[in-house]
């Protein structure tokens, strides 16, 4: 039997991390943040004083870098980089690193290995349903209005809403128009709008789609969504999205 893989894709600030973590906890399976991996490579690149646009140097870093990743943390070459991968500097550089095909090839291989090692999981990113796991059990494409997305980022990391909105739009533009594995919604993905919904509502909607695909009950804890904090909206609950 194929492992249970739930792909959560969508633009920055759509609520991916909050939802993917809560969903994984709810079902009782593991969670992988693939954006953190691209951020981890970027962190190491900047730390060494390299340019994010230097294709060869960045590729080499991606091949060599050692990650230890948990649900809430990332160590890069033995250093706790959990906070450092969320700085504006990394935000600004990461989409250049993510556009590098050699980096993507390496990260894809690691992501597939992670699923093999963990026997399935909830995986969030930009190309999970389209490229990394095209046969995922369920593909979710999360969306939210631009203003809601910018406000969430500000609630998490501070800053000016207009400035953040501009930065998000720029990054989305680069992520959606790059040649290799651009952000796109697959025809077989379900679209879930998180703008005006609580975490519990979004989880319930995704659980409904999972139930329609059947066979999930045997693989994990199928308790209802009661262990998801009810009534919370998505703002400020995640350390990334």
DSSP string computed for 80-112: E-TTGGGSHHHHHHHHHHHT-HHHHHHHHHHHH
Smallest gap from residue 101 Cβ to ligand DC (A) = 11
Q: CB nearer to ligand DC: give 26 or 127.
A: 127
Pairing relation of β-strands 74-76 and 79-80?
antiparallel
Q: CB nearer to ligand DC: give 132 or 200.
A: 132
Smallest gap from residue 106 Cβ to ligand DC (A) = 12
Residues in contact with ligand DC by the rule CB under 6 A: 12, 34-35, 38-39, 94-95, 98, 125-128, 171, 175, 240
CB-CB contact of 80 with 43 (8 Å) = no
Smallest gap from residue 97 Cβ to ligand DC (A) = 8
Determine which helix (DSSP H) or strand (DSSP E) holds 205, and give its type and residue range: helix 199-213
125 contacts: CB under 8 Å, gap ≥ 6: 7, 8, 9, 16, 33, 34, 35, 111, 132
Q: CB nearer to ligand DC: give 4 or 142.
A: 142
Q: CB nearer to ligand DC: give 107 or 200.
A: 107
Q: CB nearer to ligand DC: give 59 or 225.
A: 59
Phi, psi (deg, nearest 5) at residue 151: -65, -35
Smallest gap from residue 125 Cβ to ligand DC (A) = 2
Scan for tokens 């593909």, then name that residue: 139
Smallest gap from residue 126 Cβ to ligand DC (A) = 4
């Amino acid at each position: 039997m194929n492992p249970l893989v739930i792909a959560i894709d969508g633009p920055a600030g759509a609520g991916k991390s909050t939802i993917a973590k809560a969903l994984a906890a709810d079902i009782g399976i593991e969670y992988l943040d693939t954006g953190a991996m691209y951020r981890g490579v970027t962190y190491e690149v900047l730390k060494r004083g390299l340019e994010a646009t230097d294709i060869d140097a960045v590729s080499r870093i991606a091949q060599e870098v050692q990650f230890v990743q948990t649900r809430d943390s990332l160590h890069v070459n033995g250093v706790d980089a959990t906070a450092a991968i969320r700085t504006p500097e990394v935000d600004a550089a990461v989409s250049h690193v993510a556009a590098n095909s050699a980096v993507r090839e390496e990260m894809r291989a690691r992501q597939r290995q992670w699923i093999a090692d963990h026997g399935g999981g909830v995986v969030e990113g930009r190309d999970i349903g389209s490229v990394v796991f095209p046969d995922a059990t369920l593909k979710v494409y999360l969306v939210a209005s631009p203003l809601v997305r910018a406000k969430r980022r500000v609630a998490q990391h501070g800053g000016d809403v207009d400035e953040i909105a501009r930065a998000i739009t720029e990054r989305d533009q680069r992520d959606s128009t790059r040649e290799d594995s651009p952000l796109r919604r697959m025809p077989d993905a379900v679209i879930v709008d998180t703008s005006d919904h609580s975490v519990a509502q979004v989880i319930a909607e995704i659980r409904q789609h999972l139930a329609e695909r059947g066979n999930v009950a045997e693989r994990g804890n199928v308790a209802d969504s009661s262990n998801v904090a009810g009534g919370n909206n998505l703002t400020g609950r995640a350390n990334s999205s």
